[in-house]
Amino acid sequence: MKLDGFVAGHDVQTNTVQNNMSSFISEFRMSRIFSFISSVHIAVSKKKISNALIISRKACTRIFL
């Protein structure tokens, strides 16, 4: 009986860890997307549109990997 309780508690613990990791990863992705948008905005405001396109390509490949 104690072993079953330990296994159940362990399962709950791993689930919370997985949830925390997934929320952390989504927050990390959002911060990356925001930084990518701001970098593109800065590049466009400096009239470096070709650089902005290069930056956006690099950032997109980084975000979705």
Domain around 29: 2-63
Q: Residue 5 has what pLDDT?
A: 46
Q: Residue 56 has what pLDDT?
A: 72
Q: pLDDT band at residue 41, thresholds of 50, 70 and 90?
A: confident
Q: What is the dihedral of CA 31, 25, 55, 46, to 10 degrees?
A: 0
User: Within 10 Å of residue 56's Cβ, how many Cβ atoms?
Assistant: 16
Number of domains in the chain: 1
- pLDDT tens digits for 2-34? 454 444 455 556 667 777 777 877 888 888 888
DSSP assignment letter at 27: H
Say what the pTM is. Answer: 0.34
